[in-house]
A and B are shown apart, each in its own frame.
Chain A
Amino acid sequence: MRALKLLVVAAAAATALAIAVPAPGANAPFPMNPFPAAEVGYTFNLQTLFGHGSRVRPAVYCADSSVFRRGQQVVFRLYIVDAKTGKVLTGKDIRRVVLRIAGQPDQTMPFRPQGGNPDATSPWLWSKAWLVPGDYPLGTFKFDIAAQIKQTKNTAKWVVYNPVIPGTDWQITP
């Protein structure tokens, strides 16, 4: 599925609001050429995975997917890069990351080591698991991720990753 290919691709995010990506034709080759692209301040590098909290068992846990059934758990995890300096941001740079799913309460994404067990090799990521409700709308699955980036000790700004790329949407299926 075409959307799946997007999951491990750096999710280029605009510093403000949605990505302005031209709608690909029905048979646009993948990977789509992202250039020329709007200049961005930060990139969001996102994966969505099958979580162990799934009530409908997936074929493989922790596997990337863009298609989730009702009753399956979606694990969102990402890291954010300052596009100008190349620095991978950490909890010291970001005050808060919020997952916003259509029709659901906002959920703060903690910054924590992958798998929850810190050791020398575990990367630290912002992550959150969400169980798809049994009556959640079928079809395209809309969400965005907002990060509040510290500028000074007392100021911060919001940047939003909105994965709106026609033809490559995440899907909720029965």
Chain B
Amino acid sequence: MNTRIRNKRLRLPILGAAALLVAAVAPELAPAEPHPVTPPVISGIAGLPGPVAAPAKPAARMGILKATPDTGPPGTPFVLTGSGLPANTDLDITWSTGTKQYKLDVVPDSVDFYGRIFTPMAVVLAKGRTDGSGNLKMNLKFPQDYGALHDIYAVSDGTQLAKGGVLVERTYKVWPLKGPVGATINIKLNGLGWLGYMDTVGVIWDNRYVGFLSSVTTRGQATATIRAAGPPGKHVLELVPASATTPFLNIKQSAVGYLGFKRYTFTVTKDAGPPPTKVVWPLDLKPTSSERTTFRTATVEGVTAKASTESGTVGSKVVLTATGLSPGGATIQWNTAVGTRTGAGYAVAYTPLMSVTVPASGKIETELTVPDDVGGWHTIEVLQDGKTKASVAYRIDQSLYQGGINGKRFKQGDLIKIHLKGVGFTELDNILAVTVDNAYIGYVCGFFSAGDTVLEMVATGQPGTHIVDLTPTIYKQQKGGNDIWYGGTPFLTYRTDYPLLALGYRLPAYHFAYTIVK
């Protein structure tokens, strides 16, 4: 393997020491700056609730608008009234809101996470007109939007003449509320806010932390599933506002106590034995960014190259076709990342996959085996005379190794092994968070082990069925935000609101179960 340190931070001083002597930072691999990433379009997720309003300034003497009612979930009808306004005047009724995006830095050997960026703005919710006495009365609805507090202004000629405000309350839907051990429980939230304490909700099961839901890019809507755990009987499920992904347990005493929380009772009806292992993938969304780790677009003019598939799992086959090459020898090379975040550092690396002979036609068509390597975006390159002639982006998706779990029945004290392949190397796909019986216990990482990821745990607990869930999550957040998210805990909304969805990644969650026997 040929390793080149391509990162300006020189994070791999030991591993790359020898190769560094011949490595120059290639211009096409220069790290980008952290920047907001446009989220993918998801069916059913609303956009801004109106056209962006022109900037407006407060009037020297501002009046007030009354909203009746002024509290309710999205869609709530309300009457907006005002008085003392200029007579017979057209008004824009504006709604204070904003857009929220993830901030990422895509570099050759990582995607670094810089948190969430909120851009406040006002949109025109409706247009109105005062009567001859300067009164205003309009029938409106709370739009489908982020929840929490929103300001409403009556604006004329760039001046905010009067101000109102409403509280868009969050709604909760959880179903079913009874089922056997391992039953899927759906959670659907709406009206989550846009600030740090408002766009994240922690899930608690029998006083155990399960993970968190977010609605950063889904404008207040969040959907996720968890599974029923524990012996038959009643269990408590709580949905609690979370700040840094962890539940804020006494939210009622905070300055945002009005956010509230929700508590359900779930009845585990029976223990029907361990349900089958299940891998749940995110929605199939169209990426919004073409940025790729390890990717370089060095294809020479007149040369074309494509892979038969965009992605595959470790050990699967892909056919690489290239045309326009020079007759003679060529090398197929695999670009990846190696190293560790535990101290020594990491960098881009290059591995020859095979040598081929290009015929007089200049075309090659060769089948490759996807390497047993870290997951995520890589590059397959065709080199001739030591120069890159063509490059193709290719993604390794995660997969179960030999069924994923080493059994279904264990005695207390037995060793349980869960084995995955293709776990990634960026800050957003190098680890998975682990819960056992809905209790968060930690994470597993696949970077230093080239994507090979083994969770070993000792069988404990009472006889009966137990569940283990592995969920995508962020490794850590870089500096650069007031709304810090702690890394490493289960990101339950990974299917719709995960930062890497915009970059074309597909990270699954894994659901295992086993029975402890006497």
* B-binding residues in A (CB < 8 A): 1-2, 17-18, 26-27, 59, 65, 67, 100, 102-103, 135-140, 142, 162, 164, 166-167, 171-174
Instruction: Report yes or no: A59 in contact with B253, Cβ–Cβ below 8 A.
Output: yes
How far in angstroms is the closest Cβ of chain B from A25?
8
Bound CA span A59–B252, Å: 12
B61 at the interface (CB under 8 A from A): yes
Chain B 95-140 residues near chain A, CB threshold 8 A: 96, 115, 117-120
Bound CA span A1–B149, Å: 15
B51 at the interface (CB under 8 A from A): no
Instruction: Report yes or no: A172 in contact with B163, Cβ–Cβ below 8 A.
Output: no
How far in angstroms is the closest Cβ of chain A from B506?
29
Instruction: Report yes or no: A103 in contact with B162, Cβ–Cβ below 8 A.
Output: yes
- Residues in A whose Cβ lies below 8 Å from that of B117: 26-27
Instruction: Report yes or no: B63 in contact with A166, Cβ–Cβ below 8 A.
Output: no
- Residues in B whose Cβ lies below 8 Å from that of A17: 60
Known pairs A27-B480, A137-B165; A103 contacts B120 (CB<8 A) = no
A18, A102, A139: the one within 8 Å of B63 (CB): A102
B156 at the interface (CB under 8 A from A): no
Measured CB to CB, the nearest residue on chain B to A160 is B60
Chain B 464-485 residues near chain A, CB threshold 8 A: 480-482
A136, A167, A172: the one within 8 Å of B120 (CB): A167
Instruction: Report yes or no: A138 in contact with B62, Cβ–Cβ below 8 A.
Output: no
Q: Interface size (B, Cβ < 8 Å)?
A: 36
Chain A-chain B contacts (Cβ-Cβ < 8 Å), number:
76
Binary per-residue interface labels of chain B (143-162) against chain A in the complex, 1 for a CB within 8 Å, 0 otherwise: 00000011110000000001
Measured CB to CB, the nearest residue on chain B to A146 is B60
* A-binding residues in B (CB < 8 A): 57-58, 60-67, 70-71, 96, 115, 117-120, 149-152, 162-167, 253, 255-258, 480-482
Bound CA span A27–B102, Å: 13
Instruction: Report yes or no: A26 in contact with B162, Cβ–Cβ below 8 A.
Output: no
Instruction: Report yes or no: B151 in contact with A140, Cβ–Cβ below 8 A.
Output: yes
Instruction: Report yes or no: A174 in contact with B71, Cβ–Cβ below 8 A.
Output: yes
Instruction: Report yes or no: B64 in contact with A26, Cβ–Cβ below 8 A.
Output: no
B58, B65, B258: the one within 8 Å of A173 (CB): B258
Measured CB to CB, the nearest residue on chain B to A1 is B255
A18, A67, A167: the one within 8 Å of B255 (CB): A67
How far in angstroms is the closest Cβ of chain B from A83?
22
Bound CA span A21–B162, Å: 22
- Residues in B whose Cβ lies below 8 Å from that of A27: 115, 117, 480-482
Known pairs A26-B117, A171-B149, A173-B255; A140 contacts B61 (CB<8 A) = no
Known pairs A140-B163, A140-B165; A174 contacts B258 (CB<8 A) = yes
How far in angstroms is the closest Cβ of chain A from B287?
24
Measured CB to CB, the nearest residue on chain A to B67 is A137
B120, B166, B258: the one within 8 Å of A26 (CB): B120
- Residues in A whose Cβ lies below 8 Å from that of B61: 100
A139, A142, A166: the one within 8 Å of B149 (CB): A139
- Residues in B whose Cβ lies below 8 Å from that of A102: 62-64, 162-163
Bound CA span A100–B64, Å: 13
